[in-house]
Structure 1
């Protein structure tokens, strides 16, 4: 397919996105305040313009084809960009007011969210963001938060979940600790070092064993339920810890324990209520989080 020659109506993209989100033409028509036949015609026109089939229709309902699944994330990005551009152009983002609560783990909340959320103050200064440092999914179902950043996909039907990519983590330690303890040359050597863990450090033992590091429970000389505290313990030189690369690579005085040691990947899910469809302030914060966190995931995975 010659992508440079493709031309299509933005309404067709909106119809496809709404159908993918709602799972039916009727649901898309309800969200977009139009008719079911109109949705069908718009998607058909989009398929003709692109030269691919996006949606399969059967007695069991609608499902995305492989081409539809490949294109959905790109079209979502287009939709988010168009929404933000439109709001900035007509000044609506300046008029949006109210509080939006975002929840994430304490380490992510402290180290990553301040930078990612900075554009909110520029685009929509009337929005007040409250950050709830927590890893409990109940924060959303009990309406304690509007948006959650999680490492597992929720299964509650009233939540919308978006996979933004994967962050990577590997073993880091303070340079002064490795100077004292001597730098390991092999994964097996790493097991002889002191470790800093979280509240349940033994959960890390199995993946480390699989990666050739026979670490023992006694190796975890320091641990904390708080990711922020664990990171500070690493920086203070107490030992080795599995930490996100986005932190480890940027921190002076911290280095990889083994330069060629493989990374662990952990997914990043952005989760919100279905209220996202109607709340402009939640939509603005959600879309900016999508952009910021996706960019971080791409950089850390070596993507463009």
Structure 2
């Protein structure tokens, strides 16, 4: 059952909502207590009080952690927006939003850097023009602990205790090709039809081939992959130019009118999106501002 109520009728305690938010993002009371620097029993009481206040169950215990109930998932988006708005209001109230200065380094995969980050950066530039933005477009996991970047958009949750992360949601990767290419090779209505298609692969060591065959139930061979490149943007242009079928995230490919899904009935390859930063996030006004803005904007995208 989804959480449906008149929010204006609820006496909302932000401290309890913040406790709920951190527990949801950390996945357990113990991890959330460490992140907030408070006692675990106190944190647990705040979450329980919020559940009583709203009249819903927000978490279910799963093994050694916690998972959100449907009501908890619904509330999470509201609380995330409240948290981002609270940060922006706090900065604006002190006349600080436009006075935040310095450099912020953001890292994401090549395709996300090129297609998802620009509208976020436009919003950031409008809100905090004193911040200089460096974008590290890399498919490798840039080391935040060594300050190779300040904030990372990743497809995995960090395990290092000195990093903090917020899950933005899930993305899905599918096979895409240009309309012109599909007209040339003929319709691909069955997985076996891929045998006459050219696949644009990531690597020469077979990991891409193994992953696609295993997760999508295909039977592709190295002979199906005449084009190889580890650069996402090169793959993107090759597919747009009608040179083959490639794997792209839906959040990007569905915005490109020249590309269409190939075998859309196949289950997509699902992966999470995590926004990650060093714990300096808790003390740096600049990093907090950018982190919260990115979380809000990317969640909408």
The equivalent of 2:234 in structure 1 is 229
In structure 2, the gaps of 5 or more residues are none
Q: Secondary structure at the match of 2:196?
A: coil
Deviation, structure 1 residue 224: 0.9
Q: TM-score, normalized by length of structure 1?
A: 0.80
Match of 2:271 among 266, 269, 291: 266
Give deviations 1:154-189, integer Å, cap 9, x for gaps: 211111122111112211112222222112221111
The equivalent of 2:99 in structure 1 is 95
CA distance in 2, matches of 1:215, 1:65: 37
CA distance in 2, matches of 1:38, 1:261: 46
Moved more, 63-72 or 172-181: 63-72
* Aligned residues between the structures: 288
Q: Secondary structure at the match of 1:260?
A: coil
1:292 equivalenced with 2:297 (yes/no): yes
Q: Give 1:190-229 correspondences, 5 Å limit.
A: 190-200=194-204, 202-210=206-214, 211-229=216-234
The equivalent of 1:3 in structure 2 is 5
Structure 1 residues 87 and 188 mapped into 2: Cα distance closer, same or farther (>3 Å)?
same
RMSD: 3.3
Moved more, 7-16 or 109-118: 7-16
CA distance in 2, matches of 1:40, 1:243: 41
CA distance in 2, matches of 1:25, 1:154: 14
Q: TM-score, normalized by length of structure 2?
A: 0.81
Deviation, structure 1 residue 233: 1.2
In structure 1, the gaps of 5 or more residues are 57-61, 297-304
Deviation, structure 1 residue 23: 3.7
CA distance in 2, matches of 1:46, 1:187: 49
Deviation, structure 1 residue 15: 5.1
CA distance in 1, matches of 2:279, 2:31: 16
Moved more, 10-19 or 267-276: 10-19
- Alpha carbons 2:201, 2:209 under 8 Å: kept: no
Structure 1 residues 213 and 140 mapped into 2: Cα distance closer, same or farther (>3 Å)?
same
Deviation, structure 1 residue 212: 4.2
Q: Give 1:1-304 correspondences, 5 Å limit.
A: 3-4=5-6, 5-14=9-18, 16-17=20-21, 23=30, 46-51=50-55, 70=73, 71-72=75-76, 74-200=78-204, 202-210=206-214, 211-296=216-301
Structure 1 residues 29 and 140 mapped into 2: Cα distance closer, same or farther (>3 Å)?
closer
